[in-house]
Amino acid sequence: MESLNTSFGEGFIMLGFSDWPQLEPILFVFILISYSLTLLGNTSIIVLSILDPQLHTPMYFFLCHLSFLDLCYTTCTVPQLLINLLGLDRTITYGRCVAQLFITLALGSIECVLLVAMAFDRYAAVCRPLHYTTVMHPQLCHFLATISWLGGFMNSVIQTSLMMAMPLCGVRLMNHFFCEMPAFLKLACEDKDGTEAKMFVARAIILIVPATLILGSYVLIVQAVLSVKSMTGRRKAFGTCGSHLLVVSLFYGSAIYAYLQPKSSYSESKGKFAALFYTIISPMLNPLIYTLRNKDVKEALRKFLKVGRVSG
User: What is the value of pTM for the model shown?
Assistant: 0.86
Give the amino acid at 289. I
Quote the domain boundaries for residue 155.
Answer: 11-186+193-311
Whether 92 maps to a domain, the answer reads yes
Number of domains forming the structure of the chain: 1
The span from the CA of 68 to the CA of 147, in Å, is 16
The span from the CA of 122 to the CA of 248, in Å, is 13
Helix or strand holding residue 193 (H, E): none
User: 29: Cβ–Cβ under 8 A, 6 or more apart, which residues?
Assistant: none
CA atoms in the 13 A half-sphere facing the CB of 219: 6
Query: Are 107 and 73 contacting, i.e. CB atoms less than 8 angstroms apart?
Result: yes
Whether 289 maps to a domain, the answer reads yes
Whether 60 maps to a domain, the answer reads yes
Whether 65 maps to a domain, the answer reads yes
CATH number for the domain spanning 215: value is: 1.20.1070.10
Whether 172 maps to a domain, the answer reads yes
The span from the CA of 56 to the CA of 95, in Å, is 40
Whether 2 maps to a domain, the answer reads no
Whether 251 maps to a domain, the answer reads yes
Whether 3 maps to a domain, the answer reads no
Measured CA distances, 312 to 3, 189, 214 (Å):
61, 61, 45
The span from the CA of 288 to the CA of 49, in Å, is 15
Per-residue pLDDT of the chain (312 residues; tens, 9 = 90+): 444 444 445 688 888 888 888 889 999 999 999 999 999 989 988 988 888 888 888 988 998 999 999 999 999 999 989 998 888 778 888 889 999 999 999 999 999 999 999 889 988 988 888 888 899 999 999 999 999 999 999 999 999 998 888 887 766 788 888 998 888 888 888 776 677 888 888 888 888 999 899 888 888 888 887 777 777 767 766 666 666 677 788 788 888 888 887 767 777 778 888 888 888 888 888 887 766 556 667 677 677 666 655 555
